[in-house]
Amino acid sequence: PEQEAEYRERIKALLQKHNAVLVAHYYTDPMIQALAEETGGCVADSLEMARFGKEHPAQTLIVAGVKFMGETAKILTPEKRVLMPTLEATCSLDLGCPADQFSEFCDQHPDRTVVVYANTSAAVKARADWVVTSSIAKDVVDYLDQKGEKILWAPDKHLGDYVQRETGADVLLWDGACIVHEEFKARGLEDLKALYPEAAVLVHPESPEPVVALADVVGSTSQLIKAAQELPNQEFIVATDQGIFYKMQQLCPDKTFHVAPTAGSGATCRSCANCPWMAMNVLENLASVFEQDDNEIHVDPELARKAMIPLQRMLDFRK
């Protein structure tokens, strides 16, 4: 705890000294989320992180999350310096969608509008017509479907499948998945529901269909937090990374939150549903964020110029 307090003080002083702001995702360590709040930064879902980074006047953005979030920030504000506690923090969706293979897939289906999830590399975004996050995926695809467009969707097959079911659009899926959400199991969730019959079930749409089918609310991290506040239930079962409990508990101190069961976990697992890449963001590497020499985000300017177009479309879609 003493060491933690020291790190926290050091980070606060460094942010001030360097005119930097901390932008953190809801899945990061609660201590990092708390620091972001305390220092005038933000804790948010991936769409809000992108917007916040773009609009904030600070010259340096410290992005605590995974690499695609840092890249998105850099693409949207190339004039800013974007640092991350570690560039090792990636994402199974990003890893599972190499740009060259994805580009071939797009070439094979020139009649389709290319919609990619934000959890992708700058090169994949550069090939897309639209970038979306989970909070607006359904609305964007619905909008394109209304215009009669057929969709090529990548990389998350579960989110793509969910969007397809909700909108009825013609969606061709890339075969990718989030290793965290894919582990949630409907069978265990049913058992937990039986144990807490009054609980509302909140599910992130990166989860498989049988889990989504048991949800009372499906949405992005921000949307799930909002649901926790607005629903009258006192108890919740939550199928997403357990980093989200920090904010849920802060906003709803009298409510109870249970993490949904994953493969191999007991009904009350507390050590699962935790993204290994998000967990790489710790106070220690945050405290050395200005001293490391390999943690700045660089995006090839030509790629960035191309990727900016579908990203800006996303931001403009919902002001």
CB of 104 to ligand SF4, least distance (A): 23
Q: Tell which phi-psi region holds residue 172, choosing left (phi > 0), alpha (psi between -120 and 50) or beta.
A: beta
The closest of 111, 102, 163 to 134, measured between CA atoms, is 163
Distance set, CA 27 to CA 45, 59, 222, 313 (Å): 9, 25, 11, 26
Q: Is position 120 an interface residue for ligand 13P (rule: CB under 6 A)? A: no
Three-state secondary-structure class, residue 105: helix
Residue (7 or 117) nearer to ligand SF4, CB:
117
The dihedral built from the CA positions of residue 154, 159, 161 and 163, taken in this order, carries a sign that is negative
Interacting partner of 45 out of ligand SF4, ligand 13P, none (Cβ under 5 to 8 A depending on kind): ligand 13P
Residue 72 makes contact with ligand 13P by CB under 6 A: no
The CB-of-145 to ligand 13P minimum distance in angstroms stands at 21
The answer to whether the annotation marks 274 as part of a ligand binding site is no
Binding residue for ligand 13P, selected from 60, 133, 164, 265, defined by CB under 6 A: 133
| Per-position x/- string for 63-82, each x denoting binding to ligand SF4 as judged by CB under 6 A, each - no binding | ---x----------------
220 within 8 A of 135, measured Cβ to Cβ:
yes
Nearer to ligand SF4, 119 or 285 (CB): 119
Question: Is the Cβ of residue 39 or residue 274 nearer to ligand 13P in the bound state?
Answer: 274
Query: Binding to ligand SF4 by residue 169, rule CB under 6 A?
Result: no
CA distance 191 to 106: 42
- Amino acid making up residue 180: V
| CA-based nearest residue to 46, from 142, 164, 178, 176 | 178
Question: Residues binding ligand 13P: what is the number (CB under 6 A)?
Answer: 13
Sign for the pseudo-dihedral over CA of 75, 77, 82, 84: negative
Smallest distance, ligand SF4 to C-beta of residue 223, A: 15
Beta strands 151-154 and 113-117 are parallel
DSSP state of 110: T
298 appears as a binding residue in the annotation = no
Dist CA 204 CA 90 (whole Å): 19
282 binds ligand SF4 (CB under 6 A): no
245 and 238 Cβ atoms separated by less than 8 Å:
yes
Q: What is the chain's length?
A: 319
Residue 204 in marked binding region: yes
Candidate residues 115, 136, 278, 314; the one interacting with ligand SF4 per rule CB under 6 A: 278
In 3-state terms, the chain is what percent helix, strand and coil (to 5)?
A: 45, 15, 40
Which one of residues 15, 91, 114, 186 is an interface residue with ligand SF4 (CB under 6 A)? Answer: 91
By CB under 6 A, the residues from 215 to 254 that bind ligand 13P are: 220-221
> CB under 6 A: which stretch of 99-107, 175-183, 211-219, 291-299 binds ligand SF4?
175-183
* Choices 96-104, 105-113, 130-138, 311-319 (CB under 6 A): range interacting with ligand 13P: 130-138
Size of the site for ligand SF4 (CB under 6 A): 14
- Whole-angstrom distance, CA of residue 139 vs CA of residue 56: 26
d(CA 215, CA 209) in angstroms, rounded, equals 10
167 part of the interface to ligand 13P, by CB under 6 A: no
Site residues (CB under 6 A) for ligand SF4, limited to 8-27: 27
Contact footprint for ligand SF4 (CB under 6 A)? 27, 66, 91-93, 119, 178-180, 206, 241, 275, 277-278
